[in-house]
């Protein structure tokens, strides 16, 4: 049997639903079957990482042991000391495996690629969050099995959403009442059906039926028009954007749905992002758990440090520098290719421009109209800015130009 990517085939859903049934029966009767939860996790991880090629599974085991060692060494240290540079060292060490994996395509080093397994980014975000919240004093104690359970929570292991340890722990330690669990089941079924429609109907239409044909048409203009620009490229921009949203949102809905069946209220990852009125609103609606993670653990901490040490005195310049740093890191996280980096810089520029407009609008609120028409225009403009950024992100320009 080959490894099965989560939520990608009927086989996976059959295994999943069979394994979930005892968990759901237990919760229906007010009991959380911790030992069976562990068994179900092992089975899902086995078919995901050990079903055929076991290299990913072996990498996962060593990764978990490595991160656990870091977390518990730092937890022991933090109970007596609180040195910033020691904390920074542990954060850097926690992301080293992810850095190796991200550098692999650039360096084409077979040894580095041994560190890779599906979902390493999301597990790294969780591990770093724990280290940071230990440093903040928000997490004062954590047991090894709690750490492993949090990182290896199988509904979210491959593509998120990225939960927070303390929120997750509250759900795990609490058994929902019958009425609460009925609501979770209702929510889970709705999200499962919505995810099936998003991923396997709408996403399939845009990504499998439409996108390849439009890509061929788009690339046919290479060398025929200046920079290969054509109406086909515009069509590609919109079709790819629709595919990206419905495919990814479908995965996220599956993860939240299965979590609900297990009595866990995993946070939603998307909230009608194409209805956003500006780019900041968009990042509050798109890949929410990732954008909030970057906001809380990179942007806000960088802002605090810069203000505290007075590296830059002007608050606007501090915020702009923060945007550039944040989205540049996000670009590199996606990959070390020029279009991911440009994608990050584009969004940094969009955030800086948006903030400048909001400041201008605040100063001239009496002379700038605000009504349904201006709101509709703002949504239309934001939608097109976002779709343009997704065209950059897709890599089509790399194929078209190089």
Question: Any long-range contacts for 23-29 (C-beta under 8 Å, 24+ apart)?
Answer: 23/261, 23/262, 23/263, 24/185, 24/261, 24/262, 27/175, 27/176, 27/181, 27/262, 27/263, 28/178, 28/181
Please say whether the beta carbons of 250 and 243 come within 8 A.
no
DSSP output for 28-68: HTT---HHHHHHHHHHHHIIIIISS--HHHHHHHHHHHHHH
The encoded tokens of residue 1 equal: 């049997």
Distance of CA 57 to the CA centre of its chain: 21
The encoded tokens of residue 104 equal: 């692999």
DSSP state of 9: S
State yes or no: is 287 an active-site residue.
Answer: no
Cα distance between residue 326 and residue 329, in whole Å: 5
284 Cβ contact partners less than 8 Å away, ≥ 6 residues apart = 271, 276, 291
> Which helix (DSSP H) or strand (DSSP E) does residue 388 occupy?
helix 372-394
Selecting among 186, 334, 347, 375, the annotated active-site residue is 334
What count of Cα atoms within 13 Å lies in the side-chain half-sphere of residue 359?
9
> Which helix (DSSP H) or strand (DSSP E) does residue 259 occupy?
helix 231-261
Cα distance between residue 348 and residue 325, in whole Å: 8
Cα distance between residue 177 and residue 29, in whole Å: 9
323 Cβ contact partners less than 8 Å away, ≥ 6 residues apart = 299, 348, 351, 352
Cα distance between residue 291 and residue 372, in whole Å: 28
Nearest alpha-carbon partner for 219 in 207, 210, 228, 206: 228
Peptide bond into 5 cis (omega under 30): no
The residues assigned a catalytic role are: 334
């Amino acid at each position: 049997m080959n490894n099965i990517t989560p939520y990608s085939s009927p086989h996976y859903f059959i295994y999943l639903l069979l394994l979930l049934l005892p968990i759901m029966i237990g919760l229906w009767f007010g009991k959380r079957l911790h030992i069976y939860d562990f068994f179900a996790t092992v089975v899902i991880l086995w078919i995901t990482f050990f079903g055929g090629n076991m290299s990913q599974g072996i990498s996962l085991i060593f990764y978990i042991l490595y991160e656990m060692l870091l977390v518990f060494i730092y937890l022991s240290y933090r109970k007596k000391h609180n040195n910033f540079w020691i904390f920074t060292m542990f954060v850097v060490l926690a992301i080293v495996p992810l850095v190796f994996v991200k550098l692999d395509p650039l360096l084409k080093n077979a040894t580095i690629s041994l560190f890779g397994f599906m979902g390493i980014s999301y597990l790294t975000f969780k591990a770093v969050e724990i280290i940071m919240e230990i440093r903040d004093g928000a997490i004062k104690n954590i047991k090894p099995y709690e750490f492993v359970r949090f990182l290896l929570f199988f509904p979210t292991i491959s593509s998120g959403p990225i939960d927070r340890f303390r929120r997750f722990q509250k759900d795990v330690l609490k058994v929902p009442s019958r009425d609460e669990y009925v609501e979770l089941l209702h929510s889970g079924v709705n999200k499962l059906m919505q995810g099936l429609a998003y991923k396997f109907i709408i996403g399939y239409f845009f990504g499998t039926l439409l996108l390849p044909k439009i890509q061929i048409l788009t690339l046919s203009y290479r060398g025929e028009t200046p920079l290969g620009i054509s109406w086909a490229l515009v069509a590609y921009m919109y079709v790819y954007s629709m595919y990206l949203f419905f495919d990814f949102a479908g995965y996220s809905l599956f993860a939240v749905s299965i979590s609900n069946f297990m009595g866990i209220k995993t946070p939603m990852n998307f909230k009608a992002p194409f209805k956003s009125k500006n780019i900041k609103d968009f990042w509050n609606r798109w890949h929410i758990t990732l954008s909030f993670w970057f906001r809380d653990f990179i942007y806000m901490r960088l802002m605090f440090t810069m203000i505290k040490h007075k590296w830059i005195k002007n608050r606007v310049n501090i915020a702009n520098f923060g945007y550039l740093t944040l989205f540049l890191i996000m670009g590199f996280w996606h990959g070390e290719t020029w279009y991911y980096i440009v994608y990050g810089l584009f969004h940094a520029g969009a955030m800086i421009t948006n903030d400048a407009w909001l400041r201008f609008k605040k100063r001239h609120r009496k002379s700038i109209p605000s009504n349904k028409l201006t709101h509709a225009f703002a949504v239309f403009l934001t939608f097109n800015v976002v779709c343009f950024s997704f065209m950059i992100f897709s890599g089509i320009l790399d194929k078209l130009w190089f």
